Structure 1
Amino acid sequence: MPTIKSSYLGNLRTEAMHIQSGNLIITDAPVDNNGKGEAFSPTDLVCAALGSCMVTIMGIIADREGVSLDGLSWEITKIMQSSPRKIQEVVVNFTWTNPAQDTAFLQKIKNAARTCPVALSLDPAITQTVNFDF
């Protein structure tokens, strides 16, 4: 059974619907690739998926160990290669305003982030730079 149903809306824009929930995602080609840049580009979504997957796996471990991840946030920088046009590097910078004090736990969630399913699925030619400010 399909997970996502998508359609082309014209003008380099697409719509994807998550079938189970009905949630929609709109994509738009970036300005530097003939688009309007009015929504996430497909490559933006790849980068967002990486950060979200990392935190989801970190959250599973935190829940299992009774630790709150409140105050955890992250920023992602996408670096594109021009020829061939593709993602060259994804930089994920984590900040945690109220981190857990257990160093073993912190190391566990850092390792989990680096080995989340999206991180393991990306081509090894894409550099994944992950920084933890905690």
Structure 2
Amino acid sequence: MPTIKSAYLGNLRTSPKHLQSGEEIITDAPLDNNGKGEAFSPTDLVAAALGSCMVTIMGIVANKEGKQLEGLSWNTTKVMEDSPRKIKEIIIEFNWDHPFEDEKLLQKLKNAARTCPVALSLASDIKQHVIFNF
């Protein structure tokens, strides 16, 4: 059974729909690739998926320890290569004003982030630069 059903809307836009939840998003080609840049590009979604996956897996680890990740935020930077056009690097920078004091748990969270399913699924030539400001 499919997970996502998508449609081409024209003008370099797509509309993927998550079938289980019914949630829909729009993608648009970026300005530097003939698009309008009015929505996430497909490669933006890949970069966003990496950060979201890392935090989801960190959250699972924290929950098992009876902890929550409130206050954790992150910035994602996607770096493209021109020829061939592809993602060259994804930089994830985590910020957490009030992290746990337990150094062992913090290391478990960092390890969980680096081994999330998206991180393990990306091509090995996509550099994953992860910065933990905690």
Q: TM-score range by the shorter chain?
A: over 0.9
Deviations 1:62-101 (A, max 9, x none): 0000111000000000000000000000000000111000
| Structure 2 Cα separation of the partners of residues 17 and 83 of structure 1 | 31
The one-letter code sitting in structure 1 at the alignment partner of 2:78 is K
The one-letter code sitting in structure 2 at the alignment partner of 1:89 is E
| Structure 2 Cα separation of the partners of residues 87 and 39 of structure 1 | 18
**1:6-21 superposed matches below 5 A:** 6-21=6-21
Give the structure 1 partner of residue 83 of structure 2: 83
- TM-score when normalising by structure 1: 0.99
Check if 1:63 corresponds to 2:63.
yes
The one-letter code sitting in structure 2 at the alignment partner of 1:38 is E
The one-letter code sitting in structure 2 at the alignment partner of 1:120 is L
**1:1-134 superposed matches below 5 A:** 1-134=1-134
Q: Secondary structure at the match of 1:84?
A: coil
The one-letter code sitting in structure 2 at the alignment partner of 1:26 is I
| Structure 2: gaps spanning 5 or more residues | none
Aligned residues: 134
User: What percent of counterpart residues are identical?
Assistant: 69
Q: Secondary structure at the match of 1:63?
A: helix
| Structure 1 Cα separation of the partners of residues 17 and 57 of structure 2 | 24
The one-letter code sitting in structure 1 at the alignment partner of 2:129 is T
Shift of 1:25: 1.1
Deviations 1:31-87 (A, max 9, x none): 000000000000000000000000000000000001110000000000000000000
- TM-score when normalising by structure 2: 0.99
